[in-house]
Amino acid sequence: MNKRKLRDLIGTKLMLIATLFVSLLFFLIFVLLLFRSGLVLQDNSLFDILFSSTWNPDNSQFGLAPIIIGTILVTGIALLIAIPISLLSAIYIAEYAPWKIRRILRPFIDVLAGVPSVVYGLCAFLFLVPLTKDVIAPWFGVQSTGLCIFTAAVILAVMVFPIIISLCIESFNAVPLALKEASLSVGATKWETVKKVVFRASTPSVIAAILLGFGRAFGETIAINMVIGGIPRIPSSVFSPGETLASLIASKYGELMSIPVHESALMLVALILFVVVLVFNILGVFILRRAKRRWTY
Amino acid sequence: MDVLNRRTVEEKIFKLFMIVSICIVIGSLVIIFGLVIINGASSISIEMITQTPTPGNALGGGILNAIIGSLLLALPATGLACIIGIGIALYLQKEFSHPGFANFIRFTLDVLWGIPSIVYGIFCLMIMIALGMGSSLLVGIFALTLLEIPIITRYMDEAIKMVPIGLKESAFSLGSTKFETAIRIVRRQAFPGILAGILLGLGRGIGDAASILFTAGFSNRIPTSLFDSTAALPTMIFNLYSLPSGQPKAYAAAFILLVVVLLISIISRVLSKRFMKHVIR
């Protein structure tokens, strides 16, 4: 009996240690990034860094404005493309598609969610970049090398499709059949049922899916780094090269890590990524709580 | 009649939109699969997967060093993350921790899940430099472990939440301790979900480039100790994609990654069906 009690005690403590390790990790990353980015904040104010528009570490100018604009543009365009297309596809698969097609598409989309981002990057580099350079940019009457914000946003949208679609299908399927039947029985068309019943009943989970897609798009590093061109200037159009926060770290860390101030500037970039993810998670919790209260059935 | 017409027209228009958007989704995905499979199949050969790069010429030879490197990085990392993850997931149950505390841990895990993998890379790099180590297999494994813990744990947690309370109560009533119940009963009942989480973590770990870019480094040789730097399939693609003469290797690596992802998905389906037999419903 004693042996079992002892094992219970030790096992429980080990589990507690693992749990504390995770919360400690969370704070450790935050504190370490804050501590290491202190050096660059000594000479430059945070305001200057966030809003000045020249990134030139050799002159100790660490303006992040072009990179932040690049990040917002890439993520924003990607989500603008991805959200309507994914929602409509999810509705089609969940409500309209014949059962056979549904059975083929579901596992297909789940597999896609697992494809590594570097593979998406490779395909974008070899297919989408020449396409943008030779076909799409000339359509709009712009010269472009193909390595640009537009290309990055498109490949990002493709990466986000499977995430939003599979989560949305799940939440659409969770809407009780009785609700849909009630709507159909009073003469609503199928689309009206979808619009006014299915969408409304699953709004909280759709918001959660979109936030998850946003997180993936915002933090994507490698695929974007491969196709965005990597020039930290304020982009003049969507067909000009740019840079995003995460991709900046990947492309510049190797050359900047030897000088403490430069390294510290990149730590600040990592800290910004961390804080934005944190803020959006907190926002997500509040939005979901409100949405759940409002759209209960 | 007029109103009815408008409504059916709206229905038709949106149905058209849906079909167009699903065609866009499927089309883009077919293009990606097609590109990788066609180019990968043509550039993959026996030499490609059984040789390391020829000394002095990184573009010659094969990609064996990256294949072995990826396995040596992802498998131990998944194992470690799985041990830590199961501990956390079991501890989040009501018997062990206060619901408020558990929800706080879930929130931290969600944030950790959302953190870009490059931040984990940087974090491990800082620790590595502080300890005076160079880029090595060990630090790469550590970075991937941190990346995989939140994914694996959240999946396990969702599966464990579904375990019926009656099952736990009957174990308690027979005199088993909390730990025994957790490890023998709850773990077994939730096993299909736990397995799906582990395989998902493995897939994520084997495909991630940003976290191991600086921590595992790059090398043309197969690592012989934990402190050697090593190549991996994703970093191999990232290093070679822009050189036209390196693209066959990049495609071969992408092809192997795609096959691995497919295999993981199939294995996950098959195994979870098999283990469903042991689950009490």
The pLDDT score that the predictor gives to residue B58 is 64
The pLDDT score that the predictor gives to residue B1 is 53
The arithmetic mean of pLDDT across residues B230-256, rounded, is 85
- Window 196-255 of B: residues touching A by CB (8 A cutoff) are 200, 203-204, 206-210, 213-214, 234, 237-238, 241-242, 247, 250-251, 254
**How far apart, in Å, are the Cα atoms of B233 and each of A47, B204, B212?**
40, 13, 11
Q: Which helix (H) or strand (E) holds A61?
A: strand A61-62
Say whether pLDDT at A184 is over 60: yes
Candidates A12, A16, A118; nearest CB to B209:
A118
CA distance B280 to B101: 29
Of all residues in chain A, the percent with pLDDT exceeding 90 is 16
Helix B247-275 and helix B2-43, axial crossing angle in degrees, nearest 10: 120
Tell me what the pLDDT averaged over chain A comes to. Answer: 86
pLDDT bucket at A296, cuts 50 / 70 / 90: low
Candidates A108, A226, A253; nearest CB to B214:
A253
Domains of chain B: 46-278 (1.10.3720.10)
**How far apart, in Å, are the Cα atoms of A91 and each of A165, A183, A206?**
9, 16, 11
CA distance B6 to A192: 12
Query: If DSSP codes are grouped into helix, strand and coil, which group holds residue A16?
Result: helix
Say whether pLDDT at A215 is over 90: no
pLDDT digit string, tens, across residues B90-118: 999 888 888 889 989 999 998 898 888 88
Of all residues in chain A, the percent with pLDDT exceeding 70 is 98
The arithmetic mean of pLDDT across residues B184-196, rounded, is 87
Inter-chain touch B96–A246, beta carbons under 8 Å:
no
Position with higher pLDDT, B220 vs B199: B199
Chain B residue with the nearest C-alpha to that of A161: B25
The pLDDT score that the predictor gives to residue B55 is 67
The arithmetic mean of pLDDT across residues A153-181, rounded, is 90
ipTM exceeding cut-off 0.85 for this assembly: yes
Structure-block tokens of residue A249 = 């770290």
Say whether pLDDT at B136 is over 70: yes
Structure-block tokens of residue B263 = 């295999």
Structure-block tokens of residue B150 = 């939140």
pLDDT digit string, tens, across residues A113-148: 888 889 999 988 888 888 888 888 888 877 777 788
The pLDDT score that the predictor gives to residue B40 is 85
- Window 42-61 of A: residues touching B by CB (8 A cutoff) are none
Inter-chain touch A4–B116, beta carbons under 8 Å:
no
